[in-house]
Each structure stands twice: as C-alpha cells, then as structure tokens.
Amino acid sequence: MSPLIGSMARAVVLAVVIAAVTAFVLVRVGAPWLWAALIALPVGALALLVSRLPRATDIVWAPRPANIATATSSQASALAGRLAEAAVDQDRFVGRVQPRLRRLAEARLRQVHGVYDIHDPRARELLGADLHRLLTDPKAPLPEPSKLADLLENL
C-alpha cells in the first residue's frame, strides 16, 4: 500500500470513528438517531478535512537561500521542501511542485532558446519527452530522485 493511500485510509477511518462517537453521544444525550446522524456527518467531514491538512509544526529542512536574486532562484529554493512532500502525495506534486517546475522550465526556455510556451513543439524537442511529460501531464508521477536529477540536468 502506498503512503498516500495509507494516510488517506487512516484519515477516513479517523473521520468515521469521530462521526460514530459524535452520533453515539448525541443519542445517549437524547437526540433521535436521524438528527444524531445528520449532525455527525459534518463533524466527520470536518475531522477528515483537518486530518488531511498539512501540519503547521512540520519541519522544513530546506536551507534558506543565501541571496535571492530573481524569482527563478526563489522558486528553486522552495522546491526542496515541496519535493519531500510530493514524494508521498501525488496531489501535492500536481498542485505544488509541477507548476513551479513548469515555471522554471518556461523561464529557462524563454531565456536560452526564445521559446515562450511549454506546449510549443520546440519545447518538447528541447526538454525531451520524459521531462516534457513530467512538466505537463497531470498524471505524471514524481520519478525517483536520481531520475529526477537527470531530467532536471537537461533543463
């Protein structure tokens, strides 16, 4: 079982348990079963939402950049922490890492080759099929660190 499925399964189980306990307590207090179930559903949904949010106390081991010269360098410094999160959660990869990698690639293509759109056929040729898929396909998985390093080296 992948870590994403495991963490999601734990979150759903936790939400179901909290909803069941809420319904049980409401019935014990004297509420009808229907009302207890209706009140327990949003409580369970809230528990699911809270259990899936990133923790404010999570440690980010990425060092601060020595100096921030351009927007591209600040985006590159934020990638280390995002990659660690994205390694276990595909949604975080698609929502956080992939757009930043795409902006970095677009900036590099614009500066070096004069290509302004990553969907341009020339961009696919310049980046290579694997890197282009990683940057544009929402279903593209995050590759192993060594493979990712090789792909980004081409950038």
Per-residue pLDDT of the chain (155 residues; tens, 9 = 90+): 444 456 788 889 999 999 999 999 999 999 999 999 999 999 999 999 888 877 666 566 666 656 655 655 566 666 666 677 777 777 887 887 788 888 888 888 888 888 888 888 888 888 888 888 888 888 887 778 788 778 777 77
Domain that holds residue 11: 3-52
Instruction: Calculate the CA dihedral of residues 76, 77, 79, 83 and round it to 10 degrees.
Output: 140
Question: How many structural domains compose the chain?
Answer: 2
Q: Which residues contact 65 (CB under 8 A, 6 or more apart)?
A: 73, 74, 77
Whether residues 40 and 93 share a domain: the answer is: no
In this structure, the answer to whether residues 48 and 118 fall within a common structural domain is no
Residue 149 and residue 77 in one domain:
yes
**Does the pTM exceed 0.75?**
no
List Cβ neighbours of 104 (8 Å cut-off, separation of 6 or more): 72, 75, 76, 155
Report CA 68 to chain centroid distance, whole Å.
24
Residue 31 contacts by C-beta under 8 Å, 6 or more apart in sequence? 39
How far is 93 from 91, CA to CA, in rounded Å? 5
Geometric angle at alpha carbon 123, from 122 and 124, rounded to 5°: 90
Q: What are phi and psi of 47, to 5 degrees?
A: -65, -40
| Domain identity same for 47 and 91 | no
| Cα separation, 147 vs 142, whole angstroms | 9
